[in-house]
Structure 1
Amino acid sequence: MRGTHRILTTIVALLALQLGSLVAPAYACGCGAMIPTKDQRIGVDREESAVRWDGHTETVVMRFNVHGNADHAAWIMPVPSRADVTLGDPALFDSLARLTEPEQRERHYFWPREGDWPFDVDYGDGVGAPPPGAGTGVGVVGRERLGPFDVARLTATDPKALGDWLRANGFELPERLTGALQPYVDQKWEYVAVRLAPQQKDAVLQGELTPLRIGFASPELVYPMRLSRLAKTSQSLGLYILAEHRMEPRSPIGGDAPEVTFAGRIEPEGPVIGLAGEQPVQLTVLEQEFPHPERIDDDHRLRAVADTPYRRVEYTDRLLTVGDGIPVWMLTVGGGLLLTALATLLAVRVTRRRPDTGPGVRSVT
């Protein structure tokens, strides 16, 4: 039952993403739209997405950490072609994080800082934070049950028909989302819709959700983002991209410039093998901020660039010491003082030995 509840909490997190007025502020942008019922709220604390593209097939794995009081919700995600939907491996993102963690280096400083003697004064207990087809025009091309979820793969000839389908199945589609779906209808994309079918009464979607894995054919690497423009709060996007070459967005699509935080060829291990296979693959990690999500004007379309490796470096600063931890600055300052004292003593002794040649005394030649 616990495993069922964990799966239950899985897909609904995928829903709170881009409907800013319907959900609590979301941590990250997603490629879907979460639709709770009118009197309920659901928020995404964090979303992570891993994308595998082999040149003709794309697989997107998403994991969310959610909060709110929703026990019913629907999720819809546009895809360029027919999709396969399964549950993903919860350990995938932990493995990716280990593979891309920053390189740790030490660097030393000479003069003492706060926390070093003689400045190691305790001013309290404060700890500093270390440096996130029911309607006309809709076709149901596939339907599967994944745990407590009813997954429908849909086609739609117009956004209104898609909204009618969702409403007929117990969920409300806001008018502004209907308009946002128009570009996907024009491109003849399909949709993945997930309906929560709770097996436990009064179950609430909370915590870390089991990832959802969606695969589809695509001649280019694309990450759907248009629906994020409906959010009312700033959005953050984080992507792990596994492909033959380093991949970067063609444009910022209305957000800040994307930042590459890791790029390099990796040897897949553990759960990563289930997504990328066993052969070495190029992994690119992207972070992007959208302070004004209403400016998002396209989906992310990524292209191959030079396979220049990059890994962030985190430095640990340490006081320069020698021997058994003796600070070099103390030796330097102490040595300087000692030399000064010796020089002074020598000068005094020389002065004392000098003969008296005062008035009335003449030297004989």
Structure 2
Amino acid sequence: MRRLWAVAAASVLLAATAAVAPANACTCGAIAPAPGAAVSVTDESAILSYAAGVQSIQLSLGVESAIASAGLIIPTPSPATVVAGDQKLFQALDEQIAPREHQVDDWWGNMVDPRATTEPTVLASTSIGGLEATALDASDLAGLAAWLGQHGFALTPEVSAQLEQYNAKGWYFVAVALTNDDHLDGRLEPINVSFPTTSLVYPIGLTRATDQQRSLRLSVVSDHRVDVVQAGSSSAPLNAAERVVWAGPVTEKPLAALGSYLTVVDLRFDNPAAQVTTDIGLTFSPNDDVVEHTVSVVRPIQLLGFPLGTLLAVWGALGLLGLLGAIIARSRLR
């Protein structure tokens, strides 16, 4: 089975996550608020694409906070650049997977309708609206924590422990300062984080910093239907509850520019600290079977304000009675 990243055409992965209870670790990174402050990620949408050896993650977060700033740490396997994201892609996804109406005729009227220190190297920094994004080469996690502290943000011990797995692999990090005039409640403008890589990967290792249930929706646009697997494997399944909720040809134009087939998979981690052992990888499915979500819309079939099925039944009964009466009358004439 070919790996998804081997496809020449761009492919896209969109992920929407929601925690059962607020947590400071979103799925692909970790929130680092000011010391003593609390910032909760209420939902997360990410778009991951791969073309010409470069992977891009467009990220949109919903947060709850009483403070006006916080930090977001995203590990990347190579130095990253950050630019503004495209909100139209998220809107197109909603349109693409919205339930299609399935009309049900009602004839009867009874149907219901996220050490000694060496400071990280700043590779690039950019401003995007109310966001400040900095790409970092941070081989020393203690130095990374010190740098964040100097800029007003802090990592929890749980998140710091999970960053070690990416530090050991020589990955890089993106620090995003989430700022606002008043507070951070609501949805932030999306950002696009891109980096060169030879293997398509969605980093979820920092999710192990929480023991709260996490729900994750992965929506993949490619040329074929795909399966989610453990990163680095062509077939090993993720240790999560998994369900394909939508699969089929793309019809929304913003998404069609990225691929012709959309796969939407819901994942649930009841205990991320124990279940999340690898990042997420993608492979092609053995088939392109279609799975669509429909919603039944009752269409009353009436005549003169009465259910037509009921009227037909009554008329049929009356007709039979009339026929029976005619037969009896005819037999008496004989």
Please state which band the TM-score falls in when normalised by the shorter chain: 0.7 to 0.9
Pairing 1:271-350 to 2, within 5 Å after superposition: 272=255, 276=257, 280-294=259-273, 295-306=275-286, 308-318=288-298, 321=301, 327-342=307-322, 345-346=325-326, 349=329
Contact 1:37 / 1:73 at 8 angstroms: preserved in 2? Answer: yes
| CA positional deviation for 1:249 | 0.9
Whose Rg is larger? 1
Partners of 2:118 and 2:140 within 8 A in 1: no
231 and 267 in structure 1: CA distance in 2 versus 1, 3 angstrom threshold: same
In structure 2, what is the Cα distance between the partners aligned to 1:246 and 1:340? 56
Which residue in 1 is equivalent to 2:48? Answer: 51
TM-score, reference length from structure 2: 0.79
Which residue among 70, 80, 84 is the counterpart of 2:81? Answer: 84
Identity of aligned residues (%): 26
Q: Secondary structure at the match of 1:92?
A: helix
Question: Equivalent of 1:257, from 234, 242, 255?
Answer: 242
Which structure 2 segments of 5+ residues have no match? 1-16, 231-236
CA distance in 2, matches of 1:308, 1:335: 49
Counterparts of 2:52 and 2:278 in 1: how far apart (Å)? Answer: 21
- CA gap 1:323/1:72 in 2 versus in 1, 3 angstroms: same
Indicate whether 1:175 and 2:160 are aligned. no
Which residue of the partner structure matches residue 3 of structure 2?
none
Is the contact made by 2:205 and 2:278 (CA closer than 8 Å) also made in structure 1? yes
Partner amino acid for 2:296?
Answer: T
Distance in 2 (alpha carbons) for counterparts of 1:40 and 1:24? 17
The answer to whether the 8 Å contact 1:24/1:42 transfers is no
Separation of aligned partners in 1, 2:330 and 2:248: 69
1:324 CA drift (Å): 6.5
- 1:136 pairs with 118, 135, 140, which one? 118
The root-mean-square deviation of aligned C-alpha atoms, in Å, is 3.3
TM-superposed deviation, 1:305: 2.6
Indicate the SS of the match to 1:221: coil
Task: Tell me if the contact between 1:27 and 1:236 (Cα under 8 Å) persists in the aligned partners.
Answer: no
Distance 1:244 1:345 in 2: 68
Correspondence for 1:34 among 25, 31, 38: 31
Asked if 2 retains the 8 angstrom alpha-carbon contact of 1:53 and 1:243, the reply is no
* 2:78 is aligned with 1:93: no
The separation in 2 between residues aligned to 1:195 and 1:320, in whole angstroms, is 55
CA contact (8 A) 2:250 2:262 kept: yes
Matches within 5 A, 1:83-122: 83-113=80-110
CA contact (8 A) 2:106 2:301 kept: no
Deviation at 1:28, TM superposition (A): 9.9
Kindly provide the amino acid, as one letter, of the partner of residue 313 in structure 2. Answer: V
Shift of 1:111: 3.8
Report the Cα offset of residue 177 of structure 1: 1.1
- Give the conservation status (yes or no) of the 8 Å contact 2:78–2:197: yes
- Matches of 1:319 and 1:245, distance apart in 2: 35
CA distance in structure 2 between the partners assigned to 1:28 and 1:338 by the alignment: 70
Deviation at 1:94, TM superposition (A): 0.8
The offset of 1:231, in angstroms, is 2.5
1:71 is aligned to 68
Distance 1:227 1:111 in 2: 55
Instruction: Check conservation: 1:253, 1:299, Cα contact below 8 A.
Output: no
Contact 1:224 1:299 in 2 (8 A): yes
Alpha-carbon distance in 1 for matches of 2:70, 2:289: 41
The residue type equivalent to 2:85 in the other structure is G
| 1:98–1:28 CA distance, 2 compared to 1 (3 A) | farther
CA drift of 1:113 comes to: 1.4
Q: Residue 187 of structure 2 corresponds to which residue in structure 1?
A: 208
Output one character per residue of 1:48-88: Cα deviation in whole Å (capped at 9) or x when no partner.
22221236221111112222212121110011111110111
1:180 match: secondary structure: helix
- Match of residue 239 from structure 1: 218
Distance in 1 of aligned mates of 2:186 and 2:106: 43
Q: Secondary structure at the match of 2:195?
A: strand
Shift of 1:110: 4.6
Q: Is the 8 A contact 2:133 2:176 kept in 1?
A: yes
Structure 2 vs 1, CA of residues 267 and 316 (structure 1 numbering), >3 Å: closer, same or farther? closer
For residues 350 and 242 of structure 1, what CA distance do their matches in structure 2 show? 73
CA change 1:143–1:315 in 2 (3 A) is closer
Q: State the secondary structure of the residue aligned to 1:157.
A: coil
Q: Return the alpha-carbon distance in structure 2 between the equivalents of residues 288 and 351 of structure 1.
A: 73
How many residue pairs match? The answer is: 309
Residues 323 and 177 from structure 1, CA distance in 2 versus in 1: closer, same or farther, beyond 3 angstroms?
same
Displacement after TM superposition at 1:139 (Å): 2.2
